[in-house]
Structure 1
Amino acid sequence: MESNASPEGRAAEPSRPQSLPTRIAALWADGLGRASIRSVQVLSVLALAWVVVQAVTRVPLVLVPVLIASILASAMAPAVRWLAARGWPRALAVLASFLVIVAVVAGVVGGITAVVRDQAGVLAARAEAGIGQLQQFITTGPVALTSDQIDAARGEFQKFLAGGSLGADALTGLRTAGEIAAGTVLTAVILFFFLKDGEKIRSFLIGFLPAAQQGKAHLAAERSIVVLGGYVRGTLIIAAIDAVIVLAGLLILRVPLAVPLAAVVFLGGFIPIIGATAAGSLAVLVALVENGPVTALVVLVILVAANQFEHHILQPLFMGRVLRIHGLVIILALAAGATLAGVIGALLAVPLAAVGWTIYKTLADRDAPGPEPITPAASGTRR
């Protein structure tokens, strides 16, 4: 049966009102709605990241040994593979590598601790005297800051280093000798099992991911191991070279306590860009007290020159394909790590940032094997 309504009549009929779900969906269909949805997603990811950070920073006695063992295992993985490729049983290769790294770490840490401990009182006294002279110069010099302003600035700096839930623990090592011993033993145990069963542990964890993502996850893990291992080996070499340069300069200038001061510089070298120079400020204070302002200025020049040598020569040479991250990113990572976990956070921030960048590149199908510069590389490398 045909309708009697003409086309004009049908056109004049009012359109049916949209349903409420349709009207709500239309609100999110424009540019502002899509931006709002994306903002909610970003806030959700940030909230999840905050929860994870808060959770892991509540268990430093577990987190710190796991991270340290992961870094050391990555550095030793090539040695295990090298021995296994030459016919060593894997268990024997793991045991030999484990004993070597434990002996090296114990020897280096024990030797530096013994050197610094024997002179700790003298170093503290000379540093305090140097700070007193600097404070006197600042308060009577052209700037003429007050003692209260200087004390306030010093307090803010100390608060920055001690910031975060792990700050107190990081500045004092661990709170008790028992926790130190437990952390050391736990690190050794975790390191052994990472060297022995690292591939099985990695495969077990990646097995929780969807099958389509497991291939990329394995590739990201392999690249992360390369980055971590290269970072540790490169940092160790660079820190040793910085310490030798400072030691030679202090011996030539006849500055007292040259060996313990160089040991402090070596430890500071494990914090990129600023670590060795900041640790070397103690040498400047000692030179100021014992040898006068001219020698202290020369020591400062040596520190700055060593920093530039590290920045433009050593880092491109030893970590050219590992730490290819802009200097600003490194500084921000150091600041974030120090705020969250004090000195421990500053030590671990840069390798973790390098690993995070490597994982991101792998998941985003950027096939370069190491972190790339966000802008032309701060370390002086060329693409």
Structure 2
Amino acid sequence: MASSPLPVAGRRHSAWQDGLGRVGSRCAQILLILTLVVVAVYGLLQIRLLVIPVLIALILAAAIGPFVNLLRRKGVPGALATAVAFLSLLVVLTAVTSIIVMAVRNEWDELVAAAASGLEELESFLLTGPLPIEREQLEQARLALIDFATSAQVRSGALAGLSVATEFIAGTTLMVVVLFFFLKDGAKIWNFLLRPFRGRREAKLRRAGQRTLEVLGSYIRGTAIIALVDAAAIGIALLVLQVPLAIPLAIIVFLGAFIPLVGATVAGVLAALVALVANGPVVALIVAVIVIAVNQLEGDLLQPIVMGKSLQLHALVILFALTAGTILAGIIGAVLSVPLAAVVWAVLQVWTAEDPRVEDLNPDLPAAGSEPT
């Protein structure tokens, strides 16, 4: 009869060495990482008045940085090149704001009259249409709307809006200052941040910074081109159909295009609603068809040609990033989430040597584009 093996002297069985222990160890590591991420996000949200302007300044610097470098290569001094690019951007933003204000001011009375007429037609349709709605119900809905507009909740919301306006002015001022220094001394700032690193890690960080600027610049410039095409097509259609506020609506379409997947569509729906109120259902239907056609043209033709591979993200990843950004920081988060997600993916590719342009960082990697062996 065989005897059972005796335990080896000095060997101790650890609860972390079996399968369940290894799973528990990995779960603890994942929980620790998630905790660090949550704490980091919470901390950044507490100083969002600083973080958001810096991120916007970085994106704008990446977009117009090539223009500054072009001026420098032409022999323009660095400070003067920065000032020219900076002032050009301010002139464009001021011109866009002025166009919106002037258009709204010139067509506001017409739009108010058209809106009043449209609401009367809508009320008449609800009363005489197939829906079982009576005049007393419409009066109750109107009174409820008036009560809500004069309630303490709306007044507190107005005070909160005043606080948001103050934060917006402060954030815009900070963004302008940071943008100027990014354009003027961006390379010096980056070199200062990389001073503690040496060797391959420094090389990877430099390449990650380069890829960050490439991704952000390509994304913003490509999105601006697509947004310009969308705004021009929809704006021309609105002008031909004589829809009020055609130019401001076209500018809203341009700005909305910077929110992926949904921005241009929501702006187009707004244009259709204005057409419905001011010009009737037939014109609104035509506007809606034009918006759908432009969105299809953007998705099937413009996006692949203009954006290329600058945004190597699946549509589902874009949707997740868009949702998370909107939850965390509202509209600004929706605008910033997708380019930041693209930057994170590009940096991960550089850091794990999966970017085909980083073979010089790891001599063991095969040449870019080579067949696997």
C-alpha distance in 1, partners of 2:74/2:45?
A: 42
C-alpha distance in 2, partners of 1:272/1:105?
A: 21
* Structure 1: gaps (5+ residues): 1-10, 152-167, 371-383
The one of 62, 66, 71 equivalent to 1:83 is 71
1:247 Cα deviation from its structure 2 partner? 1.3
1:329 Cα deviation from its structure 2 partner? 1.4
Percent of pairs identical after alignment? 45
1:61 is paired with a residue of what secondary structure? helix
Aligned equivalent of 1:155:
none
Contact 1:126 1:285 in 2 (8 A): no
Q: What pairs up with 1:1-383 in 2 under 5 angstroms?
A: 14-15=6-7, 22-24=12-14, 27-116=15-104, 133=122, 175=163, 177-209=165-197, 211-368=199-356
Deviates more, 1:87-96 or 1:111-120: 111-120
C-alpha distance in 1, partners of 2:230/2:26?
A: 47
How has the CA–CA distance of structure 1 residues 58 and 290 changed in structure 2, closer, same or farther, with 3 Å as cutoff?
same
C-alpha distance in 1, partners of 2:254/2:351?
A: 36
Deviations for 1:105-137, whole angstroms, at most 9, x for unmatched residues?
Answer: 33224433443466568768977967x959x87
Aligned equivalent of 2:153:
none
1:296 Cα deviation from its structure 2 partner? 1.6
Q: TM-score, normalised on structure 2?
A: 0.78
Contact 1:273 1:307 in 2 (8 A): no
* Structure 2: gaps (5+ residues): 142-156, 359-373
Contact 1:223 1:369 in 2 (8 A): no
Aligned equivalent of 2:365:
none
Aligned equivalent of 1:3:
none
1:175 is paired with a residue of what secondary structure? helix
Contact 1:243 1:265 in 2 (8 A): yes
C-alpha distance in 2, partners of 1:190/1:199?
A: 14
How has the CA–CA distance of structure 1 residues 82 and 142 changed in structure 2, closer, same or farther, with 3 Å as cutoff?
same
C-alpha distance in 1, partners of 2:104/2:357?
A: 39
1:303 Cα deviation from its structure 2 partner? 0.8
C-alpha distance in 2, partners of 1:208/1:141?
A: 73
Deviations for 1:79-129, whole angstroms, at most 9, x for unmatched residues?
Answer: 122122222222222222222222223322443344346656876897796
Aligned equivalent of 1:4:
none
Contact 1:126 1:286 in 2 (8 A): no
How has the CA–CA distance of structure 1 residues 258 and 30 changed in structure 2, closer, same or farther, with 3 Å as cutoff?
same
C-alpha distance in 1, partners of 2:332/2:20?
A: 43
Deviations for 1:210-250, whole angstroms, at most 9, x for unmatched residues?
Answer: 65422111101101101111111111121111111111222
1:319 Cα deviation from its structure 2 partner? 1.1
Contact 1:330 1:350 in 2 (8 A): yes
Contact 1:116 1:263 in 2 (8 A): no
C-alpha distance in 1, partners of 2:105/2:36?
A: 43
C-alpha distance in 2, partners of 1:239/1:350?
A: 16
2:13 is paired with a residue of what secondary structure? helix
Aligned equivalent of 1:381:
none
How has the CA–CA distance of structure 1 residues 224 and 116 changed in structure 2, closer, same or farther, with 3 Å as cutoff?
farther
1:23 is paired with a residue of what secondary structure? coil
Contact 1:28 1:34 in 2 (8 A): yes
2:312 is paired with a residue of what secondary structure? coil
C-alpha distance in 2, partners of 1:126/1:351?
A: 40
1:204 Cα deviation from its structure 2 partner? 2.3
Amino acid at match of 1:328: L
Contact 2:115 2:278 in 1 (8 A): no
Deviations for 1:128-159, whole angstroms, at most 9, x for unmatched residues?
Answer: 967x959x87xx87999xx9xxx9xxxxxxxx
Amino acid at match of 1:23: H
How has the CA–CA distance of structure 1 residues 310 and 125 changed in structure 2, closer, same or farther, with 3 Å as cutoff?
farther
Amino acid at match of 1:283: A
C-alpha distance in 1, partners of 2:4/2:339?
A: 70
Amino acid at match of 1:67: L
C-alpha distance in 2, partners of 1:115/1:64?
A: 30
How has the CA–CA distance of structure 1 residues 341 and 17 changed in structure 2, closer, same or farther, with 3 Å as cutoff?
same
